[in-house]
């Protein structure tokens, strides 16, 4: 059997990471097997360990990729906005949309992975990746607040993003019931009306 070229091997690895990134967001980091990932990638199970030492090693890379994709979308929305208020709305509206609720494979890694992180050890590489990605999203949102007080901006970002994550989680948990849409609309309304951090006196 001919050896796979380096170019093809690199492509296969990328396909595996992309497939895992989607599946992990859909089912959680511990809800799928190596067989599931390789099947989604259209590759044989036996080829997995030529690319990764373990499923956990793949999970670390795929979760990092998911956070990179989320941060990239945020940057695109922010660049297209005319000011900080418009940028905040540009993040909140798609995040709390029915499309985001109904398509977890393309949506928020925080909602997808938070439950799994509750069971990770404090020195877990997965947990470290999660916390690093979460902090970058908090920082991005904090930079959109209008106060000159960095600590106040950080607090506002913590509160607002926590509300966004909670609302999306509950909307998914109640999908199919009118309550789901009600949760999304209530959170959007509250966050859209919530002022940025006031300037310190």
> Between residues 194 and 125, which one has the greater pLDDT?
125
pTM: 0.87
Domains and CATH numbers, the chain: 60-193 (1.10.357.10)
Query: Could you count the other beta carbons within 10 Å of the beta carbon of residue 196?
Result: 16
Q: pLDDT tens, 101-149?
A: 999 999 899 999 999 999 999 999 999 999 999 999 999 999 999 899 9
Q: What is the DSSP string of 89-157?
A: HHHHHHHTSHHHHH-GGGS-HHHHHHHHHTTS-TT-HHHHHHHHHHHHHHHHHHTTS--S-HHHHHHHH
Residue 3 pLDDT > 70 = no
Residue 200 pLDDT > 80 = no
pLDDT at 2: 56
Tell me the Cα Rg of the chain: 19
Q: Lowest-pLDDT range, 10-19, 52-61, 185-194?
A: 185-194
């Amino acid at each position: 059997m001919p050896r796979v070229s380096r170019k093809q091997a690199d492509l296969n690895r990328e396909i595996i990471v992309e497939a895992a990134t989607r599946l992990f967001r859909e089912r959680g980091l511990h809800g799928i097997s190596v067989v599931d990932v390789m099947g989604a990638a259209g590759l044989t199970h036996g080829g997995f360990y030529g690319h990764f030492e373990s499923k956990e090693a793949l999970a670390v890379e795929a979760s990092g990729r998911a956070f990179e994709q989320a941060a990239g979308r945020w940057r695109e929305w922010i660049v297209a906005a005319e000011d900080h208020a418009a940028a905040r709305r540009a993040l909140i509206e798609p995040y709390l949309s029915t499309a985001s609720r109904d398509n977890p494979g393309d949506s928020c890694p925080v909602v997808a992975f938070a439950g799994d992180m509750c069971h990770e050890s404090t020195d877990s590489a997965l947990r470290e990746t999660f916390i690093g990605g979460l902090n970058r999203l908090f920082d991005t949102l904090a930079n959109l607040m209008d106060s000159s007080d960095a600590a106040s901006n950080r607090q506002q970002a913590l509160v607002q993003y926590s509300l966004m994550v909670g609302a999306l989680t509950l909307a998914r948990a109640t999908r199919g019931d009118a309550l789901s849409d009600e949760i999304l609309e209530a959170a959007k309304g509250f966050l859209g009306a919530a002022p940025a951090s006031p300037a310190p006196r």
